[in-house]
């Protein structure tokens, strides 16, 4: 695999005993393997992935073991692109990782935040103490730049990666949010009790999440345009993910006390399936509707 990327990065990748050093060295610019990798090379990268979408670098100690949590339903083209892009991207950075796809089977209306909560609970149950960094990631988001280092900072600051997104002409959002891609340690996620389960449909859950972080004295680091920019795969609004018309009121009613009662500790779901696919671990969930 090192050979493959040696060509990609014009020789700037060195295998060091400490993966962290390699990651720091990785940031030389744009990373677009879909344009650059031949099918043959891509297949070789994907063959290196262990069942369940896991990979860990050889010859160096990884700084983190990263769980990538993808809330998902009915976006198969995006998922294919995501997997064929992200495995090379993460391996190039020599991140130790496993990709989890948390799919909603029911009810009809989508709840991204509750899926991420269920995903956190199941991954920590199945792999106790395995992951020390979680990245919650939309399936349609692809980091364009190798300087977007897929790791966590520390137990008191999260990183919001997806500030500059193609769909919004790479402009920084006018309001604070944590949507698209955000990293934090499991300790922090537990402290804030994860996401609210109350946001059915589209919108609001990521702003509520930032309020949770701030109420718990966790800072949200953002990332400069030249270090973090994202391509969002094109899509329309999904059929069963209507705008949550109550989102502004729900956000303005935020309280720390309520957030401690609504989150990973009370998310209610039925675990339908867990399966190791070739390129990801699939977790199929039926959420218990609260509306
Ligand atoms: C923004 C946020 C997103 C979320 C959303 C509001 C950014 C870059 N993204 O994205 O994180 O806060 O607003 O809820 O700030 N999904 C499915 N199937 C569905 C519906 C959604 O798989 O039927 C998943 C998928 O991973 C998708 C994500 O949920 O990427 C977010 O949904 P979206 O892409 O429709 O929302 P978008 O682009 O407005
Ligand atoms: Mn999207």
In tens, the pLDDT along 105-137 reads 999 999 999 999 999 999 999 999 999 999 999
Q: Where are the alpha helices (DSSP H) in 93-199?
A: 112-126, 186-191
pLDDT at 53 over 70: yes
Ligand 1 atom with the smallest distance to the CA of 71 is 26
Q: Look at residue 4 in the predicted model and tell me its pLDDT.
A: 41
Q: Which residues contact 130 (CB under 8 A, 6 or more apart)?
A: 65, 67
CB 165: neighbour CB atoms within 10 A? 23
CA distance 208 to 176: 10
pLDDT at 249 over 90: yes
Tell which one of 99, 112, 176 to mutate to probe ligand 1, the residue whose CB is within 8 A of the most ligand atoms: 112
Closest to 255 measured CA to CA, from 180, 184, 193, 185:
193
Q: Look at residue 9 in the predicted model and tell me its pLDDT.
A: 44
Does any ligand 1 atom lie closer than 6 A to the CB of residue 74?
yes
134 C-alpha to ligand 1 centroid (Å):
18
Does any ligand 1 atom lie closer than 6 A to the CB of residue 137?
no
What does the radius of gyration of the chain's CA atoms come to, in whole angstroms? 18
Q: Look at residue 3 in the predicted model and tell me its pLDDT.
A: 42
Q: Look at residue 15 in the predicted model and tell me its pLDDT.
A: 45
Q: Look at residue 30 in the predicted model and tell me its pLDDT.
A: 55
Does any ligand 1 atom lie closer than 6 A to the CB of residue 201?
no
Question: Could you confirm whether 78 is annotated as catalytic?
Answer: no
pLDDT at 273 over 70: yes
From the list 206, 208, 212, 282, the catalytic residue is 206
Does any ligand 1 atom lie closer than 6 A to the CB of residue 143?
no
User: How distant, in Å, are the alpha carbons of 61, 169, 246, 263 from that of 287?
Assistant: 38, 35, 20, 13
Question: Could you confirm whether 257 is annotated as catalytic?
Answer: no
Q: Which ligand is nearest to the CA of 168?
A: 1
Q: Which DSSP symbol is given to 290?
A: -
Query: pTM value?
Result: 0.91
How large is the average pLDDT for residues 40-49? 84
Q: pLDDT tens digit string along 4-21?
A: 444 334 445 454 467 764
Compute the CA torsion angle 179, 183, 189, 192 (nearest 10 deg).
-50
Question: Could you confirm whether 146 is annotated as catalytic?
Answer: no
CA distance 44 to 38: 10
Q: pLDDT tens digit string along 138-183?
A: 999 999 888 888 999 999 999 999 999 999 999 887 777 899 999 9
ipTM: 0.99
Does any ligand 1 atom lie closer than 6 A to the CB of residue 162?
yes
pLDDT at 26 over 50: no
How large is the average pLDDT for residues 241-251? 96
137 C-alpha to ligand 1 centroid (Å):
9
Q: Look at residue 172 in the predicted model and tell me its pLDDT.
A: 83
CA distance 120 to 125: 8
Run of H or E including 41: helix 39-47
CA distance 130 to 254: 32
Q: Look at residue 86 in the predicted model and tell me its pLDDT.
A: 93
Q: Which ligand is nearest to the CA of 82?
A: 1
Does any ligand 1 atom lie closer than 6 A to the CB of residue 102?
no
Cα 157 from chain centroid (whole Å): 16
pLDDT at 45 over 90: no
Q: pLDDT tens digit string along 71-94?
A: 999 999 999 999 989 998 899 888
Q: pLDDT tens digit string along 174-227?
A: 777 899 999 999 999 999 999 999 999 999 999 999 999 999 999 999 888 888
Q: Which ligand is nearest to the CA of 103?
A: 1
């Amino acid at each position: 695999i090192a050979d493959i990327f040696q060509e990609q990065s014009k020789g700037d990748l060195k295998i060091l005993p400490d993966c962290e050093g390699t990651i720091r060295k990785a940031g030389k610019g744009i990373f677009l393997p879909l344009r650059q990798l031949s099918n043959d090379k891509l297949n070789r990268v994907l063959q290196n992935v262990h069942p369940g979408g896991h990979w860990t670098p050889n010859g160096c100690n990884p700084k983190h073991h990263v769980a990538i949590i993808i809330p998902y339903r009915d976006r198969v083209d995006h998922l294919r692109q995501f997997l064929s892009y992200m495995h090379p991207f993460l391996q190039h950075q020599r991140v130790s990782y496993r990709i989890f796809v948390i799919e909603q089977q029911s009810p009809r209306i989508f709840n991204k935040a509750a899926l991420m909560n269920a995903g956190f609970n199941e991954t920590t149950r199945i792999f106790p103490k395995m992951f020390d960094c979680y990245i919650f990631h939309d399936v349609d988001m692809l980091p364009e730049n190798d300087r977007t280092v897929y790791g966590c900072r520390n137990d008191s600051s999260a990183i919001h990666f997806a500030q500059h997104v193609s769909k919004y002409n790479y402009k920084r959002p006018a309001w604070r949010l944590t949507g698209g891609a955000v990293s934090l340690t499991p300790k922090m996620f537990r402290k804030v009790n994860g996401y609210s389960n109350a946001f059915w449909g589209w919108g609001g859950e990521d702003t509520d999440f930032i309020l949770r972080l701030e109420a718990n004295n966790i800072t949200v680091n953002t990332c400069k345009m030249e270090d973090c920019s994202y391509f969002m795969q094109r899509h329309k609004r999904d059929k069963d993910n209507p705008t949550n018309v109550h989102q502004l009121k729900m956000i303005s009613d935020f309280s720390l006390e309520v957030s401690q009662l609504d989150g990973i500790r009370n998310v209610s779901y039925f675990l339908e399936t867990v399966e190791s696919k070739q390129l990801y671990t699939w977790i199929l969930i039926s959420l218990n509707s609260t509306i």
